[in-house]
Structure formats: C-alpha cells, structure tokens
Amino acid sequence: MMMPIGIIRTGLVTSVGLSAPAACAAIRAGITNPTKTRFLDSEGEPLLGHQVPLERPWRGLTRLTKMAGMTILECLDGIPEDEWSRIPLLLCVAERERPGRLDGLEDALLPDIRNDLGVEFDPQSSVIPQGRVSVAVALVQARDLIITGKRRYVVVAAVDSLLTGPTLGAYERDERLLTARNSNGFMPGEGASALLIAAADAGVQIVCTGIGFGVEAAHIGSGQPLRADGLVNAHRAALAEAECTLADLLFRVTDLSGEQSYFKEADLALSRLLRVRQEDPQLWHPSEITGACGAAIGGVCLAVVHAAFAKRYAPGPAALVHFSADAGQRASMVVRSLDG
C-alpha cells in the first residue's frame, strides 16, 4: 500500500457557493445556478454558463487570482500565518493545449496570488498545467513533499474558467457545448478549489490511499473505437496501491459534465473491472451543478467526498474518484474515511 495522505480541510469557490460548506450543500441538494453570459452563440443567442458571483467584475488573470486566493484562505483557516512560508502551494491550471487558455498562467498566476494574499509560500511551490487531471498529479507531488521533503502541510489549489470568448467559441464550433440545438454537450463554468494535505497520522480522518494514471488513445476527436483502456489502467493502479477492489467502493465521484462519450467510458471501465455481482456504485458528478470548471473540478470532487464523509451521508466508507482530460490523460484515486 502507498503511504496514505490526509485531506485536512477544503476550500471552494463555485457558482453555487463561495465556500466549501455552501457549495457542497448546494451540490448535495441539486441546486444549480446557470445564467446568461455576455457571450453569444453562432445564432446570436446568449450562451448560458455557471458564473462565480464575485464582489467585482474582475476578468482574466485577476479573476483567477481572486478565486484561487479565496479558496486558499479558506483551507488555511486555523493555520498561523507565520507558518505559511513553510507550506508549498501546488497550483493546478488549464492544460497548455486548452482552447482559449489565458496567457501567463505558469509565469504570472502564482506570483499574483502571493502578492494578492500578501504572503510567501514555500520555495517548493509550483504550477501544474494539466487541466482536469492536475489535482491527481499534485497529490502525488504533495505526498512526496510530505514524506521525503519533511513538509508538515501542502496546499493543492486549482483554478480555471471556461467562460472566455475564445474558449467558448472553440467548444461551440466543435459542438461540445450544451445548447438548445445540442443535447450532447456540457454547460461551461468556472471556479476554484483548495485542499490542505498532511500526513495520515492519528489525527486525520479522511485519506487518499491510492492514485493511478492512464492514457486513453480513443480520446475526443481521435476517431478511434473506445475501449476505456486509459481509465481501466488508472483504476487498476489506484486500486492496487489502495489494496482493495472495485467491489469495496460503494460510490464514484467524477468530472463527468454532460458529454455522452465520457459517461460511456466510465461505464465501460466499470464493467471491465467489477468482478462480482453488485448494484452499480452510485455515480456523483458535481459538474452537473457547478458546470464544467476545468482544472478546478478535481478539488471540487474531493471536497464533495470530504463533506460526505465528515457529515456521514456518504453511501460507504470509501470512494473511487476519477478524471478524464480531453487529450487522453486519465487519473483515478481511492479516498477513504477512517471514522467508521
């Protein structure tokens, strides 16, 4: 078994709540809030999106900075500020090939967050530009920093927005947005998430016990037949590290956001790995409520699992959490409650 890592606290900024408790309550209740954006589709109709209601109409890098900062402050609540300089910040952002991706994410965003919060983070802080699988990659790095780097805490933060003209235009041209003319699409959104990670010692009640990765050749736009090989490989690796089977996990939490191919892939991977007769594990997909929010969705999913365990409404003591990037990267993890 891998060395487990603990999820201590979470922070969220979404269209349905500006804190983790508010957003998780809305997601649990199924309360969603899409609104008309300032962008028009090819027919001249306003595109709907899940917009975060910030106090001012910031845009671009400033908007990402503000959203990320809010979640970081939330998950660091209770940690003395003079300790923050010894906490690495792993910042997850959109992948480089994402249509309409803002310039300067790797170079400007991390310094902007530091300046906005007025604090320095550990020199081991870095930016992880891998989109929806970024948070899984960051958790592996956080585990290494805690185990070998002797860091007490690591913050894994993620921020993204699909609500920009170039991004929406590209997705609409590819017929990937949910519109009146296209039911096989997703509702775009934006948001930020943050996780406070620590060693899984006696004081930690929620742990990640396995992480796995894979690559799917039949990704969107590839034209290849789907076998879900990438997700199957990611699941197998995560389950092996966690020393459990799929039958031990009673629910799944994923980044699925409306496109049928991703639902088909998730079901196919499940059917290839589930070896015993069992009711299908419950499938939770927070993007149904928050909209597709790119790199931020990893932290949203883990915050939802954290809240479900902490408030005892999870259908079981362990969950499978998985993510799929458009370019084929797949990530899976096993998250478990130690509190009975």
pLDDT tens readout for residues 96-105: 999 999 988 9
Q: pLDDT (tens digit, 9 = 90+) per residue, 291-332?
A: 999 999 999 999 999 999 999 999 999 999 999 999 999 999
Q: pLDDT (tens digit, 9 = 90+) per residue, 6-54?
A: 999 999 999 999 999 999 999 999 999 899 999 988 888 899 999 999 9
CATH architecture of 206-337: 3-Layer(aba) Sandwich (3.40)
Q: What is the mean pLDDT of the chain?
A: 94
pLDDT at residue 150 in the model:
87
Q: Choose between 286 and 148: higher pLDDT.
A: 286
Phi and psi for 77 in degrees, rounded to 5? -60, 125
Q: How large is the average pLDDT for residues 271-284?
A: 80
pLDDT at residue 202 in the model:
58
pLDDT at residue 2 in the model:
66
DSSP letter (8 states) at residue 42: T
pLDDT greater than 60 at residue 1: no
- How many whole angstroms separate alpha carbon 230 and alpha carbon 236? 10
CATH for the stretch 5-199: 3.40.47.10
User: What tokens were used for 241?
Assistant: 């590290």
Q: How large is the average pLDDT for residues 194-204?
A: 87
User: What tokens were used for 332?
Assistant: 């899976």
Q: pLDDT (tens digit, 9 = 90+) per residue, 211-240?
A: 999 999 988 887 788 889 999 999 999 999
pLDDT greater than 70 at residue 278: no
Q: Give 113-117's long-range contacts (Cβ < 8 A, gap of 24+).
A: 113/65, 113/68, 113/69, 113/72, 113/89, 116/65, 116/66, 116/69, 117/69, 117/72, 117/73
pLDDT at residue 89 in the model:
98
Q: How large is the average pLDDT for residues 68-85?
A: 95
Asked if domains 5-199 and 206-337 share a fold, the reply is: yes
Decide: pTM greater than 0.85: yes
pLDDT greater than 80 at residue 340: no
User: What tokens were used for 232?
Assistant: 């199957």
Phi and psi for 261 in degrees, rounded to 5? -60, -35
Q: How large is the average pLDDT for residues 123-148?
A: 96
pLDDT at residue 245 in the model:
92
pLDDT at residue 280 in the model:
66
Q: CA separation (Å) from 313 to 115, 177, 285, 308?
A: 39, 32, 16, 5
pLDDT at residue 274 in the model:
82
Helix (H) or strand (E) holding 47: strand 46-49
**Helices assigned H by DSSP within 197-296:** 229-242, 260-273, 287-290
Each domain of the chain, given as residue ranges in start order, spans 5-199, 206-337
With residues binned 3-state (H G I as helix, E B as strand, rest as coil), the percentages for the chain, rounded to 5, are 35, 25, 40
- Least confident range of 50-54, 181-185, 209-213, 275-279: 275-279
User: What tokens were used for 22?
Assistant: 């508010």
Phi and psi for 117 in degrees, rounded to 5? -85, -20
